[in-house]
A and B are shown apart, each in its own frame.
Chain A
């Protein structure tokens, strides 16, 4: 449902979840640490309620969590990336820079396809986008694969690096109750989001897509419809 000014979605009756690609990115991070050791940190930018999704990631096996807290109004991709870059710079200013930064290829809601690439550029790191396989080797190199219609494209690069992940790279685990209870007690680091400036891509209004009238032709009910369907397939030239 849209707010009266059409610039907001009323989310009162909606449930939130981690976007599919990002949930796979979390799973990939947890698996990398299971294989190679080290620690994982999950980060999101959003309103205070987004801690629920961070806790879900912790219950999947992530060690640390960071919320860049906003007033609930979305930033465009450039502003979102800039805030993430600032936070990453602070977090790795000590002696522990991140070896691998994982993003979803694109969010389920905004679908900008660019936050991971923008962060990589700002941090001067290489980035492979849209991967569905990732292996890290002991010598600090990585092999990432992208699925294309003809098969797979294979990329090799040196860490540290950024990867944007597509669903299918793994099947995310469903956290056990014990993990979910433990995640409730975990402290989450909060960074305030920077003030909103002028957006490069200015959101002006939302609108509902036009309704389309159903044109469906019911061919029949149950197995007795089979001859009609077969005749249709013949007419369409597929038999």
Chain B
């Protein structure tokens, strides 16, 4: 059995969870077995909905009075206790912050290896995985020779699993783990809201600038277009290194990994580490003076020109359209 760690946001499975289920289903098929899901938390039972449409026959919900909010060691301990009962061949999670941390903690406590950033797997002498290295510059073929095989899935490389027809209701099974004080040495004590403005992670459109913007002030023309489109402003690592924008705006391997409907990349050359942050975008529009810039390889649309001239002209055109 393949046990899939699922994550919810606003009561729905995250897109990364659905991408992960694509690989989970593929592995289960190869092993002639099924996928069961696991959720952690007190509110998840009602939020779970019917997951049989995603090919999940049984959904385990780990509930404990102290699991109202995130406590990573306790979550991992709960999952480990469930694994002891279910004896899964594979435990798989999305390559989100939580997915990577949870599986790392499960691997540590059970002394098992973990393969992170996987995009494919073959059931052969255990599990052979293909994982992404150096942010995507290279792929690695690696072997996990002991069961259960633990792996996380590289974000935005696989298509999300499509809901099928609901043939039978999912069996929801509540599991109450035994947790101790030791499991709560690290726990979330408070939340602080994000700053003003459109959130980079959830924005449908992101207008992003790179070295070509030239200065902090140079972002004004990007801000204007972003305001007109209800978009968030992003940037490349060169920009944060120069102190032009805060790191929270950074898109890339060591920044945010986003999947907007449209990513407008202005003055960004498109190093692989940057593309690791925006490859989930449905469409990429480039504004760049260099027709040979690597980002054009990954773009859908491009304007060859100086962003400081193109963006103000674009703002004026958008304004015209809105007045019509």
Q: In the complex, how many residues of chain B place their beta carbon closer than 8 angstroms to a beta carbon of chain A?
A: 95
Residues of A near B104 (CB, < 8 A) are 112-114, 117-118, 129
Residues of A near B173 (CB, < 8 A) are none
* Distance between A226 CB and nearest chain B CB, rounded to angstroms: 4
Given contacts A20-B254, A201-B115, A204-B142, contact A209 B101 (CB under 8 A): no
Interface residues of A in 137-156 (CB under 8 A from B): 145-156
B229 touches A109 (CB 8 A): no
B202 touches A117 (CB 8 A): no
Number of A-B contacts (CB under 8 A): 242
Most B C-beta atoms less than 10 A away, residue of A21, A108, A209: A209
Residues of A near B107 (CB, < 8 A) are 78, 114, 118
Interface residues of A in 190-211 (CB under 8 A from B): 199-209
A55 at the interface (CB under 8 A from B): no
B135 at the interface (CB under 8 A from A): yes
Partner of B101, one of A113, A147, A148, A221: A113
How far apart sit A199 and B140, CA to CA, in the bound complex (Å)? 15
Give the 10 A-B residue pairs with the shortest CB-CB distance, closest first: A200-B113, A168-B247, A223-B313, A230-B317, A226-B313, A114-B104, A222-B305, A126-B185, A151-B194, A113-B100
A-B contact pairs, 6 of them (CB 8 A): A114-B114, A153-B188, A201-B113, A206-B141, A220-B303, A230-B320
Residues of A near B322 (CB, < 8 A) are 239
A212 touches B297 (CB 8 A): yes
Partner of A221, one of B139, B188, B303: B303
Given contacts A153-B70, A209-B139, A238-B204, contact A233 B101 (CB under 8 A): no
B134 touches A200 (CB 8 A): no
Residues on B close to A: CB < 8 A?
Answer: 9, 70, 72-73, 97, 100-101, 104-105, 107-109, 111-117, 128, 131-146, 152, 185-194, 199, 201-202, 204-205, 228-229, 231, 237, 240-241, 243, 246-248, 250, 253-255, 261-262, 273, 283, 285-286, 291, 296-306, 309-310, 312-314, 316-318, 320-322
How far apart sit A236 and B321, CA to CA, in the bound complex (Å)? 14
B189 touches A215 (CB 8 A): no
* Distance between B20 CB and nearest chain A CB, rounded to angstroms: 15
Given contacts A114-B116, A226-B316, contact A129 B305 (CB under 8 A): no
Residues of A near B131 (CB, < 8 A) are 111
Residues of A near B115 (CB, < 8 A) are 201
A17 at the interface (CB under 8 A from B): no
Residues of B near A229 (CB, < 8 A) are 285, 301, 303, 310, 314, 317
How far apart sit A20 and B240, CA to CA, in the bound complex (Å)? 12
How far apart sit A204 and B144, CA to CA, in the bound complex (Å)? 11
* Distance between B51 CB and nearest chain A CB, rounded to angstroms: 22
B301 touches A154 (CB 8 A): no
Residues of B near A154 (CB, < 8 A) are 188-192
Interface residues of A in 67-105 (CB under 8 A from B): 76-78
* Distance between B251 CB and nearest chain A CB, rounded to angstroms: 12
How far apart sit A158 and B189, CA to CA, in the bound complex (Å)? 13
Closest to A162 in B: B186
Residues of A near B299 (CB, < 8 A) are 214, 216
Given contacts A108-B254, A217-B300, A219-B302, contact A206 B105 (CB under 8 A): no
Partner of A147, one of B205, B248, B309: B248
